[in-house]
Chains A and B, each alone.
Chain A
Amino acid sequence: MKKPFRRKSIFSPSPAAMVLSYLVLGIWTLVVLFPLYWYIVTSIKLPIQVIRGPFYLPFVDFQPSLHAWRYIFTDLRNDTLRPYFNTVVISLISSTLALLIGMAAAYGLLRFNYRPRSGAILMFIGCIVLVIVAISLGMPWMLAVIAGIVLFIILLQTIGRRFKRSLGNNDIAFWMISTRILPPVVIVIPLYVLFQRIGLLDTKTALIITYLAVSLPIVVWLMRDYFTTIPIELEESATVDGASRYRIFFSIVLPLSAPGLVATFLLILVFNWNEYLLALFLTSSRAQTLPLTVAAQNATRGPQWWYMSVLILIMIIPVIAIAIVLERYIARGLLVGAVKE
């Protein structure tokens, strides 16, 4: 099989268009890279050189010093490396899980008809409210949860059958994305209480579960759209050939939507990599992540620009590496020749 990503792109610009393209691309590259350059020079400046005014070029404007790098890697050492390790583990695991679960759900929402009955949903919400009220009135939480589940099943089997109205796939999708609307400030307090109750506070597991739930809606929505662009003829012919649903999904749909998969993965990876507020609450020392270390550099003496710059630089290096590895899959070619009408 020819390597698909080596194939030339469809748009081959004329020379004039090429010059113009490079001009625009060059300008935006400057816009993106200049701040990055500023981080780099700030990270090798002494505090006095930052405060005294703008100096642009090391060795010309000012004498660079590695004091900030030394501080981060030798003085802080474990306080940098442990969060670093945590960030890598937490964001990789949660993003991978979110991608796996989310893409399956996206495919389900696109190719199956779901009919959740609205009566059942209302009863479910009612039961949750009852459970919460019971817990806040002092009932042990295990007991309350079990009682709630039992009540829900009984209601579902008796009254639930009378409700005929049902919702559709779009409603499920909208419900999923709507869970992202509330700002993290308000969801973090209930989550804190929840994880404290089940003893998961300040563990990587708590953050992985939270990030998984938070990034799932994004995966579902994006992948649903990338799956839409796959011609349905392919799946049909596989069905005719007797392939199972799972086989179709894994050997036809997934390979064909590789660009979308990679883009989505990169996206949720950076979301989870950089997440700040949830991590601030759900961790204290053992499971601390890097964004907290960055924010901690705003000490009582004002922001420590130099340490902050070092931390931000070492934070983006692994993401750039992953992006370089994965970027080649965001390239055309896999769909070439798949459908011949």
Chain B
Amino acid sequence: MTKVKRQTQGSTQTGSGLGAKLSLNKRIHSLVMRPDRLAGNVFLLPAVWVILSLAIFPLIISLYLSFSSFRFVKGGFELKFVGLANYEKLLTGTEKTRFLGVLANPSIFGWLVFIIIAVLLVISLVLYIRRGQLSAGGLFWRGLAAFVIGLVAWLLVRAIGPDGRPGTLIVTLIYVFIGILFQFLLGLGLAFLTAQSIPGRRFFRIVFFIPMMITPVGIAYLFRMLTDTTKGPFTVIWKMVGLIGFSWVNHPWGARAAVMLGDIWQWTPFMFILLLAALESQPIETFEAAIVDGASKWQIFRYISLPHILPVSVTIILIRMIEAFKIVDIPNVLTNGGPGTASESLALQSYMYWRALDLGGSSSVSYMLLITVTLVCMCYFNLIHRAVKENI
């Protein structure tokens, strides 16, 4: 180990000597174009084969299921092709209020919010076009992102107003965005605090990781205990604020808040541990140089730490987004999706259909989820992820 390291250090000298002659781009190019093509395949192909053999198959089968109706008959099951019927049911038919919600005309405040968002989107698009670095891809993804955000805002103001009622699609979006916002900010703050050299930081690091170690079903039951206003540990507090007869799970926003609390508690460690690893892998020289030059704490954060953790940050937000859209255990156990279907997520809706043996309905909800997540993630990936990667 020591030997390797010394060797590396010695050879770094030659490397940077050489590096001074060539531009960075050329050097990367020369490294990439090294003629061991075989190595590239050895590195990548095992992963591709594993994912390919297990992921494509379910994807196609469930796509077919979403176009069919499934039922058990004597000695087996029967699949009947029904075309788009399952999707029609969700978007215009009997399941519309469950999936999309009750869409009322927005209130004046709702209109105001929507108009502000629309104006902002148009302004950002115009600014992008006038900046003069137009590219077909950039314009396409910006346009799509603006459209998706506008559509979501329009659904939101219509469903959240006094007469509306949000369906599973909107509730899921709310869970995802509010949850991730809090998880990221909390995780980032805690990672910074435990990256300091303070006594006991190893203790904190391990303790903060604990919520993720508990199985999601267990966490769901835990929050059922904690949010109980008569037998739970916080009964004293509920009594003090006069909530003794109140049940979280009987109030739509109470139930949603309880679900989000559980989700945030469970997933903050995810952000925490990955951001901590990113912070801890920063090269130390830059810090020392910055401190010698008299940089303030804020400057160190803004110009050294932040650029270093940005690539990891955008990736973990993407991964977390994909996982968060599938939230199912907590609403299932904690509120059972209730009251009514107020706290139901898309994945839970799919699960409910599936439990009722409506495999076609279950698959079609999942495909709607797939479409939503893909749209959101593609916009995110092509705008934010790429921009961050290229600027680093």
Task: Give chain A's interface residues, CB within 8 Å of chain B.
Answer: 1, 8-13, 18, 21-22, 24-25, 28-29, 31-36, 38-39, 42, 50-54, 56, 101-102, 104-105, 107-109, 111-114, 125, 128-129, 132, 170, 172, 174, 176-191, 193-194, 209-210, 212-213, 216-218, 220-222, 224-226, 228-229, 231-241, 244-246, 249, 251-252, 255-257, 259-260, 262-264, 266-267, 270, 273-274, 276-277, 290-291, 294-295, 298, 303, 305, 308, 311-312, 315-316, 319-320, 323-324, 327-328, 330-332, 335-341
Task: Give Cα A164–Cα B32 distance, bound, in whole angstroms.
Answer: 22
Which stretch of B3-11, B120-128, B153-161 is in the interface? B3-11
Whether A182 contacts B284 by the Cβ 8 Å rule is no
- Interface of chain B residues 195 through 215 with chain A (CB within 8 A): 195-198, 201-202, 204-215
**B1-29 to A contact mask, C-beta < 8 Å, 1/0:** 11011011101111110110000000110
Given A114-B40, A217-B51, A308-B218, residue A1 in contact with residue B2 (CB < 8 A): yes
Residues of B within 8 A of A132 (CB): 57, 60-61, 64
Q: Is B329 an interface residue (CB 8 A)?
A: yes
Task: Give Cα A209–Cα B362 distance, bound, in whole angstroms.
Answer: 25
Given A251-B4, A267-B274, A312-B215, residue A225 in contact with residue B312 (CB < 8 A): yes
Whether B273 contacts A36 by the Cβ 8 Å rule is no
Whether B42 contacts A232 by the Cβ 8 Å rule is no
Task: Give chain B's interface residues, CB within 8 Å of chain A.
Answer: 1-2, 4-5, 7-9, 11-16, 18-19, 27-28, 31-32, 34, 36, 39-40, 42-44, 46-48, 50-51, 53-62, 64-65, 186, 189-190, 192-198, 201-202, 204-218, 221-222, 224-226, 230-233, 235-236, 265, 270, 273-274, 276-278, 280-285, 287, 308, 311-312, 315-316, 318-319, 322-323, 325-326, 328-329, 333, 346-347, 350-351, 354, 359, 362-363, 366, 369-370, 373-374, 377-378, 381, 386, 392
Whether A323 contacts B206 by the Cβ 8 Å rule is yes
Q: A9-B196, A182-B369, A260-B277 are in contact. List 7 more A-B contacts (CB 8 A).
A: A13-B198, A128-B60, A235-B31, A251-B4, A298-B333, A312-B222, A340-B16
Residues of B within 8 A of A210 (CB): 54
Q: Which chain B residue has the least Cβ–Cβ distance from A249? A: B43
Residues of B within 8 A of A221 (CB): 315, 318-319
Whether A182 contacts B62 by the Cβ 8 Å rule is yes
Whether B265 contacts A183 by the Cβ 8 Å rule is no
Residues of B within 8 A of A226 (CB): 277-278, 281, 312
* Residue from A53, A112, A266, A331 in contact with B44 in the complex, judged by beta carbons closer than 8 Å: A112
Given A237-B8, A267-B274, residue A182 in contact with residue B319 (CB < 8 A): no
Residues of A within 8 A of B43 (CB): 104-105, 107-108, 112, 245, 249
Task: Give Cα A298–Cα B207 distance, bound, in whole angstroms.
Answer: 28
Q: List 28 A-B contacts (CB under 8 A).
A: A10-B195, A11-B197, A12-B197, A13-B198, A35-B226, A42-B225, A54-B236, A104-B43, A128-B56, A181-B369, A181-B370, A181-B377, A186-B363, A190-B62, A217-B51, A229-B281, A229-B311, A233-B19, A234-B15, A236-B18, A237-B14, A240-B15, A241-B7, A252-B4, A263-B273, A330-B273, A336-B284, A339-B16
